Structure 1
Amino acid sequence: MACRSCRRQLVLLTRQANAIAEIHTAAAAATTLRYPSLPIVNPRCRRTDQRRSFASTSRQSGVRESIARFFQMSAEPYRVVQATEEIYKTCAREASYTIPDKDRKAGTIHKTDEGEDIGEGKTMWHEDFQLPPTFSTWSQVTMLHMYLVFARLRNLDRDAARSWQQQLIDHFFFDAEERMDLTHGIGSRGLRQRYLKDLFVQWRGVIAAYDEGVVKGDPVLAAAVWRNVFKAREDVDVRALATVVSWMRLCLKMLDQIPDESLYYQAQAVFKWRAKNELTLVDKATRELEGHLVQEPPPIEKVAV
């Protein structure tokens, strides 16, 4: 019985193998149509033999080009798998958390009001934005980062964008199921599948909500972040909302500036700029606004009657 990690890699490689088989069939068909079999000619005829030699050389060159193009197309899916895995790991690290083994064995895991396990997390999202180290926080923050990458992938060709997006989704849901099993002890596969279906519905809602916010403006985007990441808490710090929105806009801009051929190794570098760094910009604007509001109005000049 293979482990979950091996099964996950097997599913990914099987999917890519099917894609490569289709590419191989298309390349072979294209080569056959472009370079059909040459008729047998009389070797005693010098002129005909020269034509055959030229045609043979041209055919060999074309075959070499087709083979090189085929291997380039065959390697592309594997590059996508590797690139999306690195991007996903960066997204998943941002709000990572753990549950101590001693608490799990003793059954002393703290719970939220909704009954969710509370672990230990020391990331920026836990300390600076006061989010609990739970599975829902991890999933929402991870999906927030994934959405930013998804928005950039829409600029690719249709097939390439679908391949990138599907691989990114696969990495996320494989990892989510593994966390349910190993971190939270949900051994029932049927129960995990039910939770994964709910998570997929949340993911589709996240895409729609953030798309609407990006198009309609910062207030709508802040409301989407408030509902998803901060769970519509009434005591949320508006500075945190403004900071996350400012950071999202900046990341979208930086991702848009990356050329398509550089996404393989530069996309995850965008997230090195932490969201909390935008607090300085938010506080500066707030201070300027407060200074403008408390500024005394100019004296009214008396007009002689």
Structure 2
Amino acid sequence: MLRSRIVFQVLRQCGRKGYFDNARVITCPRKYLINCYREQSTVTIEESYVKKFMKAVGWMDKERTRLKLTGFFLYESVPERIDYQQWFEVLELPDTFASWFIVTELHVWLLLVRYMAQDVQIIGEKKKYLKGDGHFVRNCIIEALWADVANRIKLLEGANPTIARKQVTEISEQFQAALVGYDEGLNDDRVLAAAVWRRFYSLSEDTPPKHVEKIVHFIRHQMSLLDRIPSDDLKWKPQITWLSISDQ
């Protein structure tokens, strides 16, 4: 959690100083990153120890650092660029934190699917999954999601810390179940529609079928756009364009 807060501070400060532009990852001077970390510290320690500590958490690995920033910027492309009000109105969803999370969760899942595909290799005549950069970025996206969720829950009026922790635990379990459901529907629209109906409308019999159909169309079209992004661009300069739900 400490590392998440530090990364978010770095992102915000880099953005204000012009080192980053939206989801594009631009080289940020290592000296600036070190200074940002020092600003978060409340203890004065020797330079050699700082270097050892940063190496342990990955700051000295330039490639991992850039990949981590890529993951955080990818996540931020969701809450910053999605028109949530449009999703609520078109799909007749209540304007609540739960609805916000469900919509965010779907977009995050799409990013996870695309990045996990980066680690699939053809060995002989079979496809094999090998953990690599895609898996690392995937974990960074999820880390950014939970850091954002924790911050948003704290801002809810009258939020009780104990209740907040319980809510985060429940949301986490729902998130894992939703990912499994969506994954099962990757190659079958009927299975995907069932997963959407279950997650967005709790299998309510009053659900307008056109709403579920819109979401399924959105998933297929958005996934197609993500698949067209070159692999090299996914690592260093991802340009994510999110489709509008009203156009589906």
TM surpasses 0.5: yes
Question: What secondary structure is seen at the aligned counterpart in 2 of 1:76?
Answer: helix
Query: Matches of 1:16 and 1:166 in 2, distance apart?
Result: 19
2:110 maps to which residue?
Answer: 148
1:202 maps to which residue?
Answer: 174
Query: Matches of 1:255 and 1:224 in 2, distance apart?
Result: 21
> Which residue of the other structure, out of 111, 133, 150, is the alignment partner of 1:177?
150
Equivalent residue letter for 2:200:
V
Query: Matches of 1:76 and 1:124 in 2, distance apart?
Result: 37
Q: Deviations 1:80-123 (Å, cap 9, x if unpaired)? A: 23222222122224365xxxxxxxxxxxxxxxxxxxxxxxxxx2
- Once the 2 structures are TM-superposed, how far is the Cα of residue 19 of structure 1 from its aligned partner? 4.8
Query: Matches of 1:268 and 1:227 in 2, distance apart?
Result: 27
Which sections of structure 1, spanning at least 5 residues, go unmatched?
25-73, 97-122, 279-305
Q: 1:76 to 1:226 in 2, by over 3 A?
A: same
Count of paired positions: 193
Contact 1:226–1:241 (CA under 8 A) maintained in structure 2: yes
1:130 maps to which residue?
Answer: 92
2:18 maps to which residue?
Answer: none
Equivalent residue letter for 1:174:
A
Normalising by structure 1, report the TM-score.
Answer: 0.57
- Once the 2 structures are TM-superposed, how far is the Cα of residue 233 of structure 1 from its aligned partner? 2.5
Question: What secondary structure is seen at the aligned counterpart in 1 of 2:197?
Answer: helix
1:69 maps to which residue?
Answer: none
Is it true that 1:257 corresponds to 2:228 in the alignment?
A: yes
Contact 1:149–1:267 (CA under 8 A) maintained in structure 2: no
Query: Matches of 2:142 and 2:93 in 1, distance apart?
Result: 24
Query: Matches of 1:16 and 1:191 in 2, distance apart?
Result: 34
> Which residue of the other structure, out of 3, 8, 16, is the alignment partner of 2:4?
8
Question: What secondary structure is seen at the aligned counterpart in 2 of 1:268?
Answer: coil
Question: What secondary structure is seen at the aligned counterpart in 2 of 1:89?
Answer: helix
Query: Which of structures 1 and 2 has the bigger CA Rg?
Result: 1
Is it true that 1:166 corresponds to 2:130 in the alignment?
A: no
- Once the 2 structures are TM-superposed, how far is the Cα of residue 136 of structure 1 from its aligned partner? 0.9
Deviant stretches of 4+, over 4 Å = 11-17
Query: Matches of 1:232 and 1:155 in 2, distance apart?
Result: 30
Contact 1:95–1:137 (CA under 8 A) maintained in structure 2: no
1:110 maps to which residue?
Answer: none
Is it true that 1:212 corresponds to 2:208 in the alignment?
A: no
Q: Deviations 1:111-166 (Å, cap 9, x if unpaired)? A: xxxxxxxxxxxx21111111111111111111100111111111223231221111
Q: 1:149 to 1:256 in 2, by over 3 A?
A: same
Equivalent residue letter for 1:162:
H
- Once the 2 structures are TM-superposed, how far is the Cα of residue 267 of structure 1 from its aligned partner? 4.5
Query: Matches of 1:144 and 1:167 in 2, distance apart?
Result: 16
- Once the 2 structures are TM-superposed, how far is the Cα of residue 201 of structure 1 from its aligned partner? 1.0
Contact 1:88–1:146 (CA under 8 A) maintained in structure 2: yes
Q: 1:176 to 1:20 in 2, by over 3 A?
A: closer
Contact 1:225–1:241 (CA under 8 A) maintained in structure 2: yes
Query: Matches of 1:170 and 1:185 in 2, distance apart?
Result: 25
Query: Matches of 2:83 and 2:202 in 1, distance apart?
Result: 15
Query: Matches of 2:92 and 2:113 in 1, distance apart?
Result: 27
The alignment yields a C-alpha RMSD, in angstroms, of 2.6
Contact 1:84–1:164 (CA under 8 A) maintained in structure 2: yes
Which sections of structure 2, spanning at least 5 residues, go unmatched?
11-36, 38-52, 120-130
Equivalent positions of 1:1-305 (< 5 A) are 8-10=4-6, 17-20=55-58, 74-93=61-80, 94=82, 96=84, 123-157=85-119, 158-188=131-161, 190-215=162-187, 217-263=188-234, 264-269=236-241, 271=242, 273-278=243-248
